[in-house]
Chains A and B, each alone.
Chain A
Amino acid sequence: MEPIRAARTDGTVDTEAPADYRIDVSRFDASVLVRIAKMAFRYRGRMSLAIVATVMAASFQLFVPQFLGRAVDQAQGLLAGAEGQAAKTAAAEALFTTALLLIGAAVARGLCTCMQNYQGEAVGQSIGYDLRRAYYRKLQQLSYSWHDRVHSGDLMTRGILDIEGVRLFVDTGILRSFLLTVLIGGGGVVLWRIDPTLSMVALAFVPIVGIRASLARLKLRDTWLALQDELSTLTKAMEENLGGLRVVRAFAAQAHELARYDTIGARALAISHRRINLFVQSTTQMTFVYFLTMGLVLWVGGQKTLDGEITLGELAEFLAFMTILQMPVRQIGWMVNSLARASTCGGRLFAVLDIEPSIRDAETAIPLPEGPGVLRFENVSFRYPAWAADERTLAGISFEAGPGRTIGIVGPPGSGKTTIAHLMGRYHDVGDGRITIDGHDIRDLTLESLRLAVAVVQQDPFLFTSSIDHNVAYGDPWAGRPDIERSAQAAQLHNYIRGLPGGYETLVGERGVTLSGGQRQRLAIARGILPEARVLVFDDSTAAVDAGTERRIRQELRETVKDRAVVIIAHRLSSLMHADEILFLDAGRIIERGSHDELLAAGGRYADLYGLQARAGEDAP
């Protein structure tokens, strides 16, 4: 058992620093691409179908120029040859056959392309679906400390744009490379058979355009990133301006704000122009090279036809072949881009998916057995992993809370109060010492049962954009209306909710009701007390609730919580002065402890703070 715990707590796997979300095109990571390809080939049936369809579509497309060339020869080959009516009829019949073949090739090519695109997209979308699920799941499992240091915007980018980048790789990366290989390779062979020199001329533009396109893409990517940077600065500026409109107007800063828009806008516009130049330059040059080659084919091929080396139909075939190559060759640049994008996007996505959650059930974990609910901290110390810039640590924390024994924790900001709350639900693991519930080390319990037993009402209540009853019942979605109302009643919110037009079904947040800070906290309290937890932790969860309301909440709860362990963390002393034991925390250490009266009598920090609050607010009774 020991080794498991050691592996869990050293946190080496869980220290991946949040990666930059920019796409690094210069770094191809082949293993990432292989991994994506493997994901694609998990859909064996669809993937094989897509590849077969791609190869067939390309082959049928290659028939088109051949048939066209043949038709041209059939139409005028006879002019030079026999004069007879029979020969003419035969030629007409041959033309008819060619026409049928042409339609056949076109239809077959269309159907195969349709199949290729559809199956390719289906595989891509399925991969996207798989990744989305895995990603969602992983985010649910990763610890608070991991989430603390990763920007939520970055997580969204990964979950949306990166999955997109990986998904598109199936079509633009894998299938298109098959298509291009068959088209250029197969076409090259067909043309080579007709005339080797001319086929060299015809295909001369392929490498030039390919290289040109890839290079341009890399540069375009850079300008695109630069542009995105400027645009997001602009977005941020506008968003802040509109969000803080009253401040802007209060200081009559509109002119200043518009000047800011103009500065950023001018920069963005300059980059945008540079980007347009680059883009237009590369695309038009590629087309230019392509047409030049066509001119050469016309020249050399025309000469060869004149010299009788190839037929007129074969010349037409060359030209028609070039027509069908125009689009795919342009897409070479696209493909290069797709490879780069998939490689970086996949890399960043897998970086998250591969993290082993540092907090998870031990193999031998058991559900918490029935018990009275005694919470003990035994000489607990804790230190955030090295990545955290601040040095906040806990050391030598011991206390016991149980039925009828309430613990209050107070201390200046940053003294480690919230960390203690988080340790109880095992949102972080302790460094040394241990935390037990009814004598069980919490690391030996399943997370599910532990968190059911320990309810933490958090300081900053996050409410979900749904109805009030959904929010209250968040911890137990099957709770009945009476339970929901009882919790709301205890949190002194029931009357207010009943007064709303939609009652408990009223939406919270945008386009619903806007709750004040105090109401949000009370909703969070209702949510926290609904599942009947053995240990209740209030982490400064009444800071925005006024003292009078808080007192009534306390009275309401007294009955409900009398057989549970309660830990109250607060700034306001009136919130916790009734606790059986109060811990005064500073810099992660307990510097004073005792009941309210004892601490006052001791005349230490607690007594100072009490004096301060009594003077400033006079809201301490």
Chain B
Amino acid sequence: MTVTPTTPEERPPLAVVGSQVSQEEELFGRVFDQWVVRRLFTFIWPYRRRLAFGVACVLTFTATQLTIPLIIRHTIDDAVAAGAAGAEVLQTMVMIFFAIVVVNYAASRAQETIVGRVASHLLFDLRRAMYAHLQVVSLSFMDKTEVGRLMSRLQGDVYALQEFLETSISAIGDFVLLIGIICVLLVLDPRLGALTLSVVPLLFLVRIVWLPLARKAFMHARETSSAVNGALAENVHGVRVVQALRREDVNFALFDNKARDNLLAALKASKFTNIMIPIVDTLTGAAMAIVVVVGGGLVLDNALDVGVMVAFLFYVQRFFDPIRSLTIQYSIMQRAMAAGQRIFEVMDVEVDVEDKPDALAPEEIDGAVAFEGVTFGYLPGQPVLHDVSFRVAPGETVAVVGPTGSGKTSLMALAHRFYDVWEGAVRVGGHDVRDVTQASLGRHIAMVLQEPYLFTGTIRDNIRYARADASEAEVVRAAEAVGADAFIRRLEKGYDSELDQGGVNLSLGQRQLLSFARALVADAKILVLDEATASVDSYTELEIQRALARLLEGRTALVIAHRLATVRNADRIVVLQDGRIIEEGDHPALMASGGLYSKLYAMNYASFDDFAEEAE
């Protein structure tokens, strides 16, 4: 079954499975990062009362745990070993035991409930804060950040902090329990206590050596596992190509290598986990043996109550538990610090486009758009637009054409103030865009992007995305106007049909029509439109052109045009190259001038975009 992916020529194939880009981020940070803790603290602060109560409960709970062996001790010494007189004491001791059990129950229940709830609140708070920040953060940050990366922060990292909070409260309990056991043992019998406790440092030592080694093994297991899953995902998504190009055997052999690596890594990690068991058991056995030999000897010499010996045995059986949880807590803390660092990093990303305190929010504007000597770029020293000036009069349609990378999309983004210009100004309705609120810009400018991006939800919700209060009649009217009504009504649930995964169940053309309807409902004075390049079939294209004409009616429009039909119908055409306007005018004028535009036109391109590539 296994195929070795080599040929007799002994040349390895040009083949891999799964993504070649590692998705893993730094998993562990410093144990204690003051900056992270301080930031985290502001999120915890609102819950301080509840948490304080939670800590009180933990301490109560720990106290009851410490008390139980002591009660057993007294039951044995004062009741059972005391002969006939003991019967009454036994009753009392048992009653006390039951009382303690009730307290133990109440305290642990209250503590776990409180901590669990606060931690999940914190999870949603942190996530919301980060999410809310991402809504206003500068687009240049979003441009260079993958959504997947942000999502892993919104999810994985936030969970790491939740886990940290959840466990750190019980870690307080564990710590107190450990100290408590040590104290009780030393108080009950200093010599025996000291002797028994002598095994504890040994365990600490072992774990300190073990931890970094084990962590390496765990990380490796994790990485190989995500590599396997990545390869599986590729097989699922690319199965058609795999079958079409008969890559089944080669891929299977490569996958097998990955799966085997993962198997070996998992086994190695398992060795590390399990090697601790005999060590802890041996140390526990040794501690019990010390109690039996030394404690038993003392009891023989009448120097120790037998109940104390029993209590010691109970404590010894328990005292490795808190040590184990505390070392786990150490890892959790490191992970939380690394996660916190990443979360707060996102929250600290600068918001470079902000409303001025005295920003205007004009109710009505006249629909003029003007670029005045605009210079702009994404990277310092590398402007993509140079001193661009032009005006779009109210009601006018201006088409912007130019090769890929000429700066068309940047122009569009600037009109909506997604970025701030370096020099010059962008005016909308006579106002510098920096003097009005972003929300009011959103109201007056509707945008249609190249890729019709729809959201999961009903078709109705998508059409009225810009104005959630739009009436049913408005929604239907918009859909009718762009010619989407007919196909929507053919769907089983009409306007209530759910769009899966951004509307994959619709054709590209249908999605485009919906995004037009959405822009129409927004009912803005100004329309900024990036025409879709991907060609759809001619019938749909005709419908889209019709819808577009309807959409542009009575509005100011700035259109990045890819189709000749659109360009020809524009009132004016701006030809952009390398961030500069090189020609401007209407279609006949530009044709007459014999410049770049007329050349492109003569070459019969369906789109102007591939031009740059051709030119090389």
Contacts and interface: CB of A to CB of B under 8 A. Distances in A.
A88 B301 CA distance: 9
A379 interface: no
A522 to B, nearest CB: 10
Interface stretch (A21-29, A186-194, A464-472, A593-601): A464-472
Contact of A478 (B13, B239, B263, B271): B13
B365 interface: no
Interface string B589-608: 00000000000000111110
A458 B240 contact: yes
Given A113-B281, A462-B241, A478-B7, 12 more contacts: A72-B306, A99-B288, A102-B292, A140-B248, A241-B135, A249-B418, A250-B416, A302-B86, A451-B244, A473-B15, A478-B9, A619-B604
A474 to B, nearest CB: 5
A543 B104 contact: no
Interface in A403-454: 412-413, 425, 427, 448, 451-452
Interface in B383-416: 404, 416
B14 A74 contact: no
B98 interface: yes
Contacts of A427: 240, 243-244
B112 A283 contact: yes
A247 B344 CA distance: 26
Given A96-B293, A251-B522, A276 B302 contact: no
Contacts of A547: 604-606
14 contacts: A72-B310, A75-B300, A125-B267, A152-B237, A240-B502, A242-B134, A242-B147, A244-B502, A246-B449, A251-B442, A324-B317, A475-B246, A516-B609, A546-B607
Interface residues of B, number: 168
Contacts of B609: 516, 546
A587 interface: no
Interface of B is mostly: helix
A510 to B, nearest CB: 6
Contacts of B309: 71-72, 75
B87 to A, nearest CB: 6
Interface stretch (A212-220, A292-300, A335-343, A576-584): A292-300
A250 B565 contact: no
Classify chain A's interface size. Answer: 35 or more
A258 interface: yes
Find the residue from B127, B128, B237, B604 having the highest chain A CB count within 10 A. B604
A147 B150 contact: no
A229 B420 CA distance: 40
A91 interface: yes
Interface in B266-303: 266-267, 270-271, 273-275, 277-282, 284-286, 288-290, 292-293, 295-297, 299-300, 302
Sort A-B residue pairs by CB-CB distance and give the 3 closest, nearest first: A252-B442, A106-B285, A110-B281
A155 interface: yes
Contacts of A118: 270-271, 274
A284 B289 contact: no
Contact of A465 (B13, B19, B90, B154): B19
Contacts of A125: 263, 266-267, 270
B255 interface: yes
B289 A100 contact: yes
B37 interface: no
B155 A235 contact: yes
Contacts of A10: none
A319 B604 contact: no
B117 interface: yes
Interface string B520-556: 0010000010000111111111100100000000000
A166 to B, nearest CB: 15
A96 B609 CA distance: 90
Contacts of A273: 117, 120
Given A144-B240, A616-B542, A244 B455 contact: yes
A114 B299 CA distance: 35
Find the residue from B239, B438, B541 having the highest chain A CB count within 10 A. B239
A243 B154 CA distance: 14
B610 A546 contact: yes
A32 interface: no
Nearest to B125: A265
B202 to A, nearest CB: 14
Contacts of A527: 245
